[in-house]
Structure 1
Amino acid sequence: MGSIAKEIDAKELEKEFLPFLRMYKDGTVERLLGTPYVPPSPQDPETGVSSKDITISLDPSISARLYLPKLNQTHQQKLPILVYYHGGGFCIESAFSFDHHRFLNSLVSQGQVVAVSVEYRLAPEHFLPNAYEDCWAALQWVASHVKDDKVVNKEPWLMNHGDFSRVFLGGDSAGANIVHNMAMRAGVESLHDGVKLVGAFLTHPYFWGSKPLRSEASEGHDKALPCLVWNFVYPNAPGGIDSPMINPFVETGAPSLAVLGCSRVLVTVAEKDELRDRGVYYYEELIKSKWEGEAELVQVEGEDHAFHVLNFETENAKTLIKRLASFLLK
């Protein structure tokens, strides 16, 4: 470890984006936050969930960790499919990280779903919109399994156990932002072979905008972390911090939430999260729009951003995961 630290120290720093990462002039990126990568498990000892890593695309590089709950061996079970997008501000964390692996083992076990946790490309090596394109490609790849044809790169867990009439999206933080944008795109573009999204859950969604909303402080609003993160990960975003991708409520340029391409939505927010008001407002605007689906809002008191992933062992975390599982079981 000492030699690695000396090697990093010897590198010439190009830019820091604290507390997330440092970039060096040789092109390497040192990520300062996030949990270690862990391998998949043939059968998790606590939940019985099996997981494995697969490649979706080589160019661009898109991979995923698949999860399968313990099955009733007496018959071929068909289960709902959850396409999951991890959080991390589009620049840290991974589908292979310890905290998301632990969270998904629990959710897959309780929700009885086949899950595809997408490993999309991160900034600054790959600025947005690359992550959005990766996540759409992954969703289309999942949908391509609906027909039992001879297309290459078919995944047996999806072919044998996936119920393509019950496809869900889910994500936390930046991943919940991706969920919104994928569901909006699915509302105007077709998925393979007419596959439709049934539902989507957004936990602590990452939305922001140039104008303060409700309890957000007006002073220094443009220097708040959500604004700094967006400007870092998507420096050329059309509209900047008022791009419809990060601000679905912007007065000009944002498509109506009525086109959201699923019939059920669950939004969850945490009391101490600075993104809370945006999540609540998203739920309210969705209800007020001409979207014809069913929306639910869950507010958790006394907790902060992504607590259900970061503080997995707490009672509030377990309760929220159980709530997400019940949404998938309906």
Structure 2
Amino acid sequence: MALHQQALRGSLRSRDVILDKDRGLWVRVFRLEELENRTLPIVIFYHGGGFVYISAANAIFHRFCEALSRKLGAIVGVCELPPSSGAQAPGGLRRWLLNWVREIAKSSSDQDAFAHADFSKIFVMGDSAGGNLAARVALRAAQDGIPLAGQILLQPFYGGTSRTESELRLGSSDPMITLRITDFCWLAALPEGAVDRDHPFCNMTLELPGDLARLGARGLARALVVVGGKDLLHDHQVEFAKILEDAGNAVKLIDYENASHGFYLVGDDSCQESVLVLDEVASFLRE
């Protein structure tokens, strides 16, 4: 268990960096001004929303990334993604996301937004649907030889045609999502021609083991996977972590028994797990 670490105080700057105006792709970058006398790790964050909802400009994610930047003492960039961009064009979007990571790694991104950045410490992070994307970017980065310091996956969004025990038990009682919602998201997001939820973008068991086997000794960037016992997606997420671990990758799985989907977005001390998870992420960055 990570020890509680006080969030850093001071003026926080945020700046929107346009990456592709025609496609509506941009990133909101957060950085504490008082830390500009030292190099800072970079956390590239992909927001949740089932691939079809919410924006990086949403107040909930804005506040969450502010809290991340303060807690971690890091430059945090939250990516704006077009609706349905996640799975409708998995190859194209994944290449774009990876190219952006590559540009950051080469220190050629926006120089003001990433001033004082430590380009040897780039982490990809995502929650829910964004966790799915972050994991795919981490996999592609490993395949292309792009070094990442780690991947942080908060309740990554996966599924399949076969219902898991947690889906059957919590499918209508999770306060954040239901099976009806997740089924709709996959219907809207999966690419044209997908027959059902047993598509590799949704069901990671189909291709991920083979992809990891082909990586061999190169392996993936170490992973922090956070799940919740009251999240209907719990069993898919635990299986994902097990696949990574069985392939010889460094994985830290944290399972909060009483946490529902999106618990980390509560943003105050009323949800103990929302405080603890930021401590765990901060500890992971320091390792």
TM-score bracket, shorter-length normalisation:
0.7 to 0.9
- What amino acid is the match of 2:143? V
Match of 1:137 among 93, 96, 109: 96
SS at match of 1:80: strand
* 2:121 alignment partner, one of 166, 172, 181: 166
1:97 is aligned, of 25, 49, 58, to 58
Q: Spell out the pairing of 1:10-49 with structure 2 (5 A cutoff).
A: 48-49=11-12
Q: Are 1:121 and 1:134, in contact at CA under 8 Å, matched by a contact in 2?
A: no
Indicate if the aligned counterparts of 1:185 and 1:261 stay in contact, CA closer than 8 A. no
Q: Which residue in 1 is equivalent to 2:280?
A: 323
Report whether the alignment pairs 1:304 with 2:260: yes
Does structure 1 residue 188 correspond to structure 2 residue 143? yes
**1:239 CA displacement:** 5.5
Distance 1:146 1:206 in 2: 27
Contact 1:132 1:178 (8 Å CA) reproduced: no
Alpha-carbon displacement from aligned partner over 1:26-71 (angstroms, at most 9, x marks no partner)? xxxxxxxxxxxxxxxxxxx965321111101123221010011243
Question: Aligned pair 1:51/2:6, yes or no?
Answer: no
Structure 1 counterpart of 2:286, which letter? L
Aligned to 2:26: 63
8 Å CA contact retained: 1:181, 1:245: no
The aligned residue for residue 88 of structure 1 is 49
Indicate conservation of the 8 Å contact 1:62/1:134, yes or no: no
Q: 1:94 and 1:188, CA in 2 relative to 1: closer, same or farther beyond 3 A?
A: same
Deviation at 1:101, TM superposition (A): 1.0
How far apart are residue 146 of structure 1 and its match? Answer: 4.1
How many Å separate the matches in 2 of 1:66 and 1:131? 24
Question: How much does 1:198 deviate?
Answer: 1.6
* Distance change >3 Å, CA 46–CA 319, structure 1 → 2: same
Deviation of 1:286 (Å): 1.1
TM-superposed CA distance for 1:325, in Å, is 1.9
Q: Spell out the pairing of 1:231-242 with structure 2 (5 A cutoff).
A: 231-236=187-192, 238=194, 240-242=196-198
Distance in 1 separating the partners of 2:43 and 2:70: 12
In the alignment, what sits opposite 1:18?
Answer: none
CA distance in 1, matches of 2:97, 2:211: 25
- Give the structure, 1 or 2, with the largest relative contact order (CA under 8 Å, sep 6 or more): 2
Query: Are 2:114 and 1:114 aligned?
Result: no
Identical aligned residues as a percent:
27
Report deviation, 1:270: 0.9
Alignment RMSD? 2.8
**AA at the equivalent of 1:319:** L
Give 5+ residue unaligned stretches, structure 2.
Answer: 1-7, 173-178
Where in structure 1 are there 5+ consecutive unaligned residues?
1-44
C-alpha separation between the residues in 1 aligned to 2:20 and 2:267?
31
CA distance in structure 1 between the aligned counterparts of 2:86 and 2:117, rounded to whole angstroms: 32
Where 2:34 maps in the other structure, the secondary structure is: coil
* Residue type of the alignment partner of 1:168: F
1:136/1:71 Cα in 2 relative to 1: closer, same or farther (>3 Å)? farther
Residues 277-316 of structure 1: pairs in structure 2 closer than 5 A:
277-289=235-247, 291=248, 293-309=249-265, 311-313=266-268, 314=270, 315-316=272-273
TM-score if structure 1 supplies the norm length?
Answer: 0.72
Residues 299 and 146 (structure 1), Cα distance of their counterparts in 2 relative to 1, 3 Å cut:
closer
Secondary structure of 2:87's aligned partner: coil
Deviation at 1:129, TM superposition (A): 3.0
Higher Cα Rg, which structure? 1
Corresponding residue for residue 157 of structure 2: 206
TM-score w.r.t. the length of structure 2 is 0.82
